[in-house]
Amino acid sequence: MLAARMHGYKQPLVLEEIKKPEISADQVLVRVGGVGMCRSDVQLIDGYFHHALNTTFPITLGHEIAGLVEATGDDVPEAAQLAIGDQVVVATGWGDGVCRQCRVGDEQICEHGSWPGFGPPGGYAEYVPVPYRHLIRMEHRLNWEELAPLTDAGVTPYRGIKKLRAAGVFGPDRVIAVFGASGLGSYAVQYAKLLSSGSTIVVFARNEEKLAIAKRHGADYAINTRGKSLDDLRSELFRLTGKRKLDAVVDCVGARETIQTGFGLLATAGAFVLVGLVGDQIDMPLFPFVSGEFTFYGSFWANYTDLQEVLALAQQGKIQHSTKRVGFKDINENLEMLRTGEIIGRAVVVFDVDAAAGPGGRQAAQQMAVG
């Protein structure tokens, strides 16, 4: 099979042919239909997770995986309802199953867990082995570009916004901000609209095209932050909403600038949830944090139940998508575009693209390491 593999840090992925994986008794072989391209793939290549992961090269990246059941292991129970040809998505976050976090369903934060594409084989390949209990079967099929991103970009902000809802900061007289309008942010705007009990939704970003998409996806107002001070943003917020401060923030970027700006605009007793990981540390004044009684949530990925809920919304037609279809041979080119912030929405590698090209296209892809 074809696979795009990482052989070392700060190197283009190698597009090569490797042995099709065998599955153990409790695994399912998934034929990958589509795999989302995430900024964390770029960060993995660049060494961002070097100290957090015990990496043995080569590894196959790609954690936003959707595909078809190709084969099932002998111990996959009938109750799993997984048959050859079923459309499935991979619920990422494979825990040990016995720790406290796993017991309550939060396997994505298991201290002894793993994630496909960060060690276990990921979806930048034609086939991927997956433990059967981490697959969710789709009742009604969606296309690969719509489906694959839901396993990370489309579910990570959902979990974060659920935390804000539980904090009691939503309501018709509240203003909720989404920082970032790219992959995660375009979904966050929609979930904020769905879950925030009539709150006003304002999206903050630096790219006008991305802001326009966020408006189409339900944001009430959009503010371009480029070159603006905190006072400038307060004034613009007041002009649009009649308020100078925010009741809640979901930060889909996680850069030092967005964190400082979000807390700088947060109202007394406001809540802030961070789901983005562009930066590597938080730096903000302590006294306003304490005296304002702010609540801060870290929110990492999502659990199986969160993903089930998002998939249900998608199958009901309640989620809009902004995606770009990418062929296998163009993976490295698009990783570089992710690195420089040029991707609008979510790029999705769709293997059907290369399958349609025939044997000649496949042979060319095998011989190329595009970068």
Amino acid 54: pLDDT: 80
Q: Which of 133, 121, 18, 124 is nearest to 366 (CA)?
A: 18
Cα(36)–Cα(158) distance, rounded to whole angstroms?
A: 17
> Both tokens of residue 64?
């936003």
How do strand 59-60 and strand 2-6 relate by DSSP bridges? Answer: antiparallel
Q: Mean pLDDT score of the chain, rounded to an integer?
A: 92
**Sheet bearing 175-179, strands edge to edge:** 221-224, 200-205, 175-179, 246-251, 266-274, 295-298
pTM: 0.92
Q: What is the reported pLDDT for 52?
A: 80
The three-state secondary structure class of 159 is helix
Higher per-residue confidence, 110 vs 52: 110
**pLDDT per position as a tens digit, 246-305:** 999 999 999 999 999 999 999 999 999 999 999 888 988 999 999 999 999 999 999 999
State the pLDDT at residue 365. 44
Note every long-range contact of 102-106, with CB atoms under 8 Å and residues 24 or more positions apart, other chains counting: 105/303, 105/304, 105/305, 106/303
Domains, in order of start, for the chain: 2-154+302-366 (3.90.180.10), 156-298 (3.40.50.720)
Eight-state DSSP code of residue 327: -
Residue-wise pLDDT tens digits, 2-35 = 999 999 999 999 999 999 999 999 999 999 999 9
Q: What is the mean pLDDT of residues 198-215?
A: 96
What are the CA-CA distances from residue 172 to residues 147, 185, 201, 223, 342 (Å)?
31, 21, 11, 20, 35
Q: How far apart are CA 371 and CA 357, in angstroms?
A: 21
* Confidence (pLDDT) at 357: 36
